[in-house]
Structure 1
């Protein structure tokens, strides 16, 4: 496995690839989102047997943009998809905004993250088979916003009642990608973390090392 890198090193690698003209930011985001879905089906091939339901928590930045690519990809497989978005689509970076608009304008269901507060997840109908954390990824160095922490707590509670799976995109939101520090306390641990190009230091250090589940590093052509 490639040696772990910092979040700054990862951003520099992506920027260099884009500035060289080898790839666009939109293409990289598309590759990343599709790579997550590929990793999920390779890990749990039984999920390919019939369409199910996926819930995607998407954030305000490029990690959220990955989430909207993932949403579109699951729809290609016939899944019931709902995106819970934190922030404003209009305020997203351009590539992320493009993917969000594509999903929403083609009939995709986008709900604000706020409804998770006080929600009794025992009675979700239909139940969610896979939850995907695409809120912040490697970009967070501060505690989670309260509404995001509330959503994580609700999903953790639901997992006491339903045998669903949790997948983190790049790194579980709320874990510092460089130090592995847990920036907010919540009882949620992914079954699978899908990261790109190389592991991040936070996957191997501090509490981050125990908040990964199975780690898959996907090649996105960098």
Structure 2
């Protein structure tokens, strides 16, 4: 994937593909203020736009009360709520204003609260009249959460936590302004009780919480709210996180094939995969690469696995090599593998390779001597974890595809630490070792050596099955051989892999998603990119 320049940043923003952290959002607002759009104007624009969205959503509801409960904190998010309350009151809604932390303290919010003085708005303080606040929400047509927004960290206080749980039983439509209160904007983690939203109105841009699971699942339907910030206010803010929401951006990676092309034009993949007890990994990776369009696949695997692998491979070439007594590739095969790698476009290393002393020596030897792109998966990654510095010493451009457990072995971090901030873990590793890193899992993260990060949103839990990663490795390797850049090939591979899983789920069920079915789906998915 190309580095994000100002020109393509604007293009991607128009596609709603960029997301920004809460800290970046504050800088954007500062830039807007400096450029003539004051904080008061931004608050008014946000509140009015949110009110219009809420009104258009609930206007057709059959509600005798036609009341809206607006929950306001003491900060700037509460100020948005006061504008929403004023706007909806002007439209004829009965407004019940719930102050969750007393009167406003932010300067702009105080101004907006003053606008309500002549409005027929009933105000209740959560800490002083809890039951009345709950009652207001239970009888409302809509509840609007303007308690914390991007300012929340840690855990809710006991009263607010209980309040959110109590009102979750209300049949009202529930709207969160910017971020459901109780969720942290920069994370997909859920650390606290939270406002359970049917709709989230994201101010100006997506934040990580809107994209990353499991928190994103609690945001309901997310809509972007434009508050009039000029495009140039984003230019000084580095955002390298791209969302796969738009098929068209992925499609740009696929180039039309020359009608006069031959198989040599689409690359040659050397697959060094498989062992006696894990023949299927080599088979699935090779077949996935073939289905993804590579010109030639040359499979190196242990002689001990020959019968099992050969019976399931039709298109690839086969190079069985001497194996250890346990059925792994011998390290003595290194020179022959290097010679084959020199004739290849890229090398896929590790799927089902097994882990033993010979594997470690072989993987290190390949990394030390091969200069072609290497896609390192599974036991290739595990072997490297014994000598992580080889990643800095190799001349080969690298793609690593760890799941959280393998990532933990690579980094020395716990799985919990990695999962708590997947973007940070992936970005730090990719920049430190100069590679493209795929941190697999829900919302697979692709990080590049420049620090750019891509979050994938295709795929489903049915794909969490043995062999799924081998299919992914084969797809990515195939795209590398077909002249995509390493990062583009990885982004496209992750996206296509997820679409295959999604298609299988629709045709059968989530329980029916298998790697073999995914391989059979690749050609149909790729037809959408031609």
TM-score, normalised to structure 1, is 0.87
| Residue in structure 2 matched with residue 185 of structure 1 by the alignment | 193
Q: Secondary structure at the match of 2:222?
A: strand
CA distance in 2, matches of 1:46, 1:174: 30
For each residue in 1:35-62, what CA deviation from the matched residue of structure 2 results, as whole angstroms up to 9, or x when unmatched? 1111123334415999810001100100
Contact (CA 8 Å) 1:116, 1:151: kept in 2 or not? Answer: no
Give the secondary structure class of the aligned counterpart of 1:132: strand
Equivalent in 34, 39, 55 of residue 69 of structure 2:
55
Relative to structure 1, the CA distance from residue 79 to residue 6 in structure 2 (aligned partners, 3 Å threshold; closer, same or farther) is same
Structure with more contact order per residue of length (Cα contacts < 8 Å, sep ≥ 6): 1
RMSD of equivalent CA atoms: 2.5
| Aligned residue in 1 for 2:21 | 6
Match of 2:127 among 114, 130, 133: 114
Number of equivalenced pairs: 214
In the aligned structure 2, how far is the partner of 1:174 from the partner of 1:33? 20
Q: Which residue of 1 aligns with 2:214?
A: 207
Inter-partner Cα distance in structure 1 for 2:122 and 2:131 = 21
- Of the three residues 60, 66, 74, the one matched with 2:88 is 74
User: Separation in 1 of the partners of 2:129 and 2:71?
Assistant: 11
Q: Please tell me whether the aligned partners of residues 141 and 172 of structure 2 are also in contact (alpha carbons under 8 angstroms).
A: yes
Q: How does 1:132-211 map to 2 (within 5 A)?
A: 132-157=144-169, 159=170, 163-185=171-193, 188-211=195-218
In the alignment, structure 1 residue 16 sits paired with structure 2 residue 31? yes
Unaligned runs of 5+ in 2: 1-15, 230-530
Larger Rg: 2
Q: Which moved more, 1:139-148 or 1:39-48?
A: 39-48
State the SS of the aligned residue for 2:115. helix
- Cα separation, 1, equivalents of 2:118 and 2:102: 15
1:141 touches 1:183 (CA, 8 Å); kept in 2? Answer: no
Hey, what's the Cα distance between the residues in 2 that align with 1:150 and 1:93? 25
- Which residue in 2 is equivalent to 1:26? 40
Runs of at least 4 residues off by over 4 Å: 47-51, 115-121, 123-126
User: For 1:9 and 1:127, how far apart are their aligned partners in 2?
Assistant: 38
| Residue pair 2:86, 2:119 contacting (<8 A) in 1 also | no
Q: For the residues of structure 2 that align with 1:81 and 1:17, how far apart are their CA atoms?
A: 31
Secondary structure at 1:184 match in 2: coil
Q: Does residue 94 of structure 1 match 2:107?
A: yes
